[in-house]
């Protein structure tokens, strides 16, 4: 029984993984994701398993507020640093941001619910 449980966790992840935010890169895109009810690390999954995550993001964007974050390079910092700084200041309950990592963008759009703004 123990081996089967470990194999299932390794294959599908832990149940608590969906509540933990995901910050990282996948396929030349940077992500900051924390949406209730989905695996927040869905950008790293194989393409066929990403579909449910992207559908959930689409539904989330329809009702969420959005804001633009200035991501100009400050002392060589990446946009992810600015996104984390914004999340720490606003403290949203859920959020989603996506930006290209191979292009020097000036801003990042973030969708969120809750928070101080």
pLDDT grade for 11, boundaries at 50, 70 and 90: low
- DSSP character string of the chain: -HHHHHHHHHHH--GGGGGS-EEEEETTEEEEEE-TTS-TTGGGS-HHHHHHHHHHHHHHHHHSEEEEEE---STT--HHHHHHHHHHHH--SEEEEEEESSS--SEEEEEEESS--
Joined together, the tokens standing for residue 63 give 């009702």
pLDDT grade for 110, boundaries at 50, 70 and 90: very high
pLDDT in tens, 37-90: 888 999 998 888 899 999 999 999 999 999 998 877 655 567 888 899 999 999
Please give the Cα distance from 87 to 93 (Å, whole number). 10
Higher per-residue pLDDT: 23 or 10: 23
Domains of the chain, residue spans: 17-113
What is residue 112's predicted lDDT score, i.e. its pLDDT?
96
| Average pLDDT value for the chain | 82
* Percentage with pLDDT > 70 across the chain: 77
What is residue 78's predicted lDDT score, i.e. its pLDDT?
77
């Amino acid at each position: 029984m123990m081996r089967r449980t470990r194999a299932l966790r390794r294959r599908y992840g832990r149940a608590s993984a969906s509540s933990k935010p995901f910050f990282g890169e996948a396929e030349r895109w940077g992500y900051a994701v924390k949406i209730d009810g989905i695996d927040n690390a869905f950008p790293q999954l194989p393409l066929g398993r990403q579909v449910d995550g992207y559908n959930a993001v689409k539904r989330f964007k329809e009702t969420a507020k959005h804001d633009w974050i200035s991501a100009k390079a400050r002392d060589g910092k990446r946009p992810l640093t600015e996104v984390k700084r914004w999340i720490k200041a606003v403290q949203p309950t859920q959020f989603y941001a996506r930006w290209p990592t191979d292009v020097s963008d000036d801003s990042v759009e973030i969708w969120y619910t809750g928070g101080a703004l």
